[in-house]
Structure 1
Amino acid sequence: MVRRAIYFSGRVQGVGFRYNTARIAIGYEVSGFVENLSDGRVHVVVEGACQQVDAFICHLCDHMSQYISQRQVQHHPATGEFGGSGSHVFAIRR
């Protein structure tokens, strides 16, 4: 299990980025959340098996590429914050 925190910059707010992130997450065995930040970026935190997390991030970046100018990925050990293995909850936060 791994945890990734991703910060997306560009025209990422007001374009359905959070909705699309949560929709894409349904297709993967991942848990986490997506939220808008006050500085205009979008913050995504995702946990799951390394292969699932990386595939989810790749799919998200491909799908939303026209809106993303930069992304910063931070690698962390999984915390189980979202229920651990077998739990696939992905939330949209404000």
Structure 2
Amino acid sequence: MPLERRRIFFSGRVQGVGFRATTTWLARGFDVAGYVRNLPDGRVEAAAEGDSAELDRFVASIQSELGGFIRELDSSTERIDGPTFTGFVVRR
């Protein structure tokens, strides 16, 4: 399966509520690698690599677990030749 990278921006009440920690914890259940970080404008950015179906399940799990804090989700996808990330971490 071809790998892809998703860059997802979450807005709403997503900072200061354990969003990054929960996203990192959820990532452990999926074959994805990447990062999550707070942005100065109040959004949270997640970047994840994996196959399309696995990324769909990962994003759905974030929405299921943290949906009460998310007002809007904006996602973009790009194909990649190979993995760039190792593990899934919180970036500062």
Instruction: Give TM-score scaled by structure 2 length.
Output: 0.93
In the alignment, what sits opposite 2:26?
Answer: 24
Q: State the secondary structure of the residue aligned to 1:81.
A: coil
Flag as ranges the 4+ runs of structure 1 deviating above 2 A.
none
Correspondence list, 1:11-90, <5 A: 11-78=13-80, 80-83=83-86, 89-90=87-88
Please, which runs of 5 or more residues in structure 2 have no aligned partner? none
Distance 2:15 2:55 in 1: 22
1:92 alignment counterpart: 90
Query: Would you say how many aligned residue pairs link Structure 1 and Structure 2?
Result: 89
Q: Of residues 8, 11, 18 in structure 1, which corresponds to 2:10?
A: 8
Structure 2: distance between partners of 1:77 and 1:51 = 13
Distance 1:75 1:37 in 2: 19
Gaps of at least 5 residues in structure 1 are: 84-88
